[in-house]
Amino acid sequence: MIDWSGVFPATTTQFKKDESLDLEATQRVIDGLIKDGVHGIIALGTVGENCSLSAKEKRSVLKAAVEVVGGRVPLLSGVAEFTPKAAAAYASDAETIGADGLMVLPAMVYQAQPSEIISHFKTVAAATNLPIMIYNNPVSYKIDIKIETMTELAKIENLVAVKESTEDTRRIIDLHNAFGDRFTIFSGVDDIALESLMLGAQGWVSGLTNAFPRESVAIYNLAKAGRYEEALEIYRWFMPLLDLDTIPTLVQCIKLVEEIMGRGSEVVRAPRMMLEGEERAYVQAVTQAAVDARPTLPADLTKAA
């Protein structure tokens, strides 16, 4: 049973310099996050470069993640496939491998219509007993799962949560007003995370948590305790980094920050390329500024293993 609450980083997939998988390094990244107090792990999301991996590689990464998590926190796997058939096959395999749940995107072959979105999720949900988080990210993937479509998806029992990444906090209110507590809502955008928690989101799927997990957990814990002024102080410090989560090169940015912080490697797989020039210098400068001004966290609300 998944406790659908807290900070669930979308973890990076680590590569060697030749862009081959580095499963040991991927496990070190995940282990470090758990030891720093995150509440769950999501492997093979956007930040995990799901769509740049072969079918075999995806399953290898998930097996490595299951092994290192070892039941300490819930482990979800991203499902980002071009067809319902491929997504259903992966969902079934993920259950066999030992994932606790799934985070599923619509079929990515083209900008699907509502009926096609519904059919996709029905197909995937029927292929597994695992609980599923619907991943709604129209900014990156050009498909918006609107309230009318969610009304049909609400009829599918194992669709239980929503990662809302529209960049519009009003959608959190709309989901609550339409469905009450039918779905658990997670914020999927780093630089509106605190606002989303204040509006009733129960969790945060985060990218920059990969580099600053303790600060992310502190923001969440403070918000849930109603200590918004303290949370806001950390959030303001964090914002220049969190803004990196909302641009096309977010994966490269997050992995570069992760490397600077000594938590992973910046190597990405093509078609992505590592940052260069002004953008690279900016990310380095913002990260150094964050390190120089790193806040002292309230000891009573930080969680570390």
Query: 175-218 pLDDT, tens per residue?
Result: 999 999 999 999 999 999 999 999 999 999 999 999 999 999 99
Query: 228-259 pLDDT, tens per residue?
Result: 999 999 999 999 999 999 999 999 999 999 99
What is the reported pLDDT for 303?
47
Query: 61-111 pLDDT, tens per residue?
Result: 999 999 999 999 999 999 999 999 999 999 999 999 999 999 999 998 888
pLDDT at 20 over 80: yes
Pick the catalytic residue from 16, 56, 146, 163: 163
Please tell me whether residue 14 adopts helix, strand or coil conformation. coil
Note if 228 is an active site residue: no
- Give the start-end residues of each E strand in 158-303: 159-164, 184-187, 203-206
Which helix (H) or strand (E) element contains residue 85?
A: helix 84-97
What is the reported pLDDT for 299?
83
Query: 266-284 pLDDT, tens per residue?
Result: 999 999 999 999 999 999 9
For Cα atoms 210, 211, 215, give the angle at the middle one, nearest 5 degrees.
95
What's the predicted TM-score (pTM) here? 0.95
What is the reported pLDDT for 305?
35
What's the CA gap between 102 and 124, in Å, rounded? 10
What is the reported pLDDT for 304?
41
Pick the catalytic residue from 58, 90, 135, 235: 135
Query: 144-171 pLDDT, tens per residue?
Result: 999 999 999 999 999 999 999 988 999 9
What's the CA gap between 254 and 259, in Å, rounded? 9
Note if 135 is an active site residue: yes
Please tell me whether residue 297 adopts helix, strand or coil conformation. coil
Give the rounded percent of residues in the chain with a pLDDT score beyond 90.
91
> How far from the centroid of its chain's Cα atoms is residue 227's Cα?
24
